[in-house]
Amino acid sequence: MKNKRIYIVTMVIIFIITLTIWPIKSLAQEAGGATGFVYEIKFPENQQKDAGYFDLKMTPGQKQKVEVLLKNPRDEEVTVETSLNGAKTNMNGVLEYGPVNLKKDDSLKYDFIDVVKAPEKIVLPPNSEKTLEIEITMPQTSYDGLIVGGIQLKKADDNKDKTQEGANVVNKYAYVIAMVLHEKDVKVEPEMNLNKVNAGQSNARNVIYVDVSNIKANFLDNLSMEAQIMSDKSDEVLYETKKSSMRMAPNSNMTFPVNMQGEKMVPGKYRAHILATSGDKKWEWTEAFEITSEEADKFNREDVGLVQEKGTNWLLIVGAAVGLFVVILTIFFIIRLIRQKREAVKKAERRKKNKAQANNADK
């Protein structure tokens, strides 16, 4: 009886251990998520604070290598592509550290991609890890402010894009590690410039773009903007957009959209009144601009809201239906006429044949 109890206890322990150990390989297989790999930042001694990104205190002309450990927990080889990108600001006032189609600002003195270098790709064998080395070379001259960018890590495309109902479905996942480089503890005060105001489109909708820049090498935090559009001959506000809690990257550009509320774009001369605030800083501009007939026609044709509002052209549909009915009716009468002629010919031939047979019978 005692041996039986020992046996049962032993089997229970083995069962529990099996349940504990068995999932380990499964979890390792799934680790890395959609990217197929994971990373770990190796922070150097000049890291300034406990953060999930590089924040490095540098000196003029300093050269340094920093490391990111890449791990492949799967049973298949993974190729990791790297790309370096300077920090930019999108139209929503959100920072972009990955590759985006946004222009550089003219105030940018030292571009992140000129200061930081990394290999374009690194191959990870199954269940292995490798160190990605990132080289930093600071400008020779002393620099006040920040140089900011991002390191994107992405699994290389393997031509496995799915096709669904005739459309290409591309699923791409990536990690982006931010990097902030600075030399001094001097605080750089923010400064904004208004570049231009112009007509455009956002997501196939008519908008007025207010193009502004953060021309200093520091983040512009807690930014609020209010833009009003008026005719040059009136103070009546035609369109207005307000937005707060935005942020701009150092030396970056932002095209702030003023929604036209689904209205047609009308050519003419206009004024824009813009107010921007960040903390106790305030900037205010009034800018004249013009919408040409060519611009208005082009954007109105491409505005999906205006195209939908046009609705169904019932006159065209009725006209097409009547035309189709006439064509079908014409074809019907032509076919009927041809059949009638054929029947008449057949009847004539039958009468002729019957008459000939009757004559032969009389003889």
Give pTM, 2 decimals: 0.73
Residues 141 and 17 reside in one and the same domain:
no
Q: What is the pLDDT of residue 35?
A: 87
Q: Which of 23-32, 201-210, 255-264, 277-286 is predicted least confidently?
A: 23-32
Residues 213 and 291 reside in one and the same domain:
yes
Answer with the one of 125, 152, 182 that is the final residue of a domain.
Answer: 182
Answer whether residue 356 is part of any domain: no
Residues 14 and 46 reside in one and the same domain:
no
Residues 39 and 156 reside in one and the same domain:
yes
pLDDT in tens, 80-104: 999 999 999 999 999 999 999 999 9
Residues 236 and 144 reside in one and the same domain:
no
What is the crossing angle of helices 2-21 and 23-30, to 10°? 0
Answer whether residue 5 is part of any domain: yes
Express as a percent the part of the chain with pLDDT over 70.
79
Answer whether residue 350 is part of any domain: no
* R_g over Cα of the chain: 37
Answer whether residue 26 is part of any domain: yes
Residues 209 and 145 reside in one and the same domain:
no
Residues 11 and 40 reside in one and the same domain:
no
Residues 10 and 140 reside in one and the same domain:
no
Residues 25 and 38 reside in one and the same domain:
no
Answer whether residue 293 is part of any domain: yes
Answer whether residue 337 is part of any domain: no
Residue 60 belongs to a domain with what CATH number? 2.60.40.10
Q: What is the pLDDT of residue 5?
A: 47
Structural domain of 21: 1-30
Residues 20 and 83 reside in one and the same domain:
no
Answer whether residue 333 is part of any domain: no
Q: Are 86 and 113 in contact (CB under 8 A)?
A: yes
pLDDT in tens, 268-292: 999 999 999 999 999 999 999 999 9
Residues 130 and 231 reside in one and the same domain:
no
Give how many domains the chain has, as a whole number: 3
Residues 26 and 38 reside in one and the same domain:
no
Q: How far apart are CA 330 and CA 305, in angstroms?
A: 41
Answer with the one of 277, 309, 341 that is the final residue of a domain.
Answer: 309
Q: What is the pLDDT of residue 43?
A: 97
pLDDT in tens, 137-182: 999 999 999 999 999 999 997 555 444 443 334 447 899 999 999 9
Q: What is the pLDDT of residue 282?
A: 97
Q: Which of 20-34, 153-167, 202-216 is predicted least confidently?
A: 20-34
Q: What is the pLDDT of residue 89?
A: 98
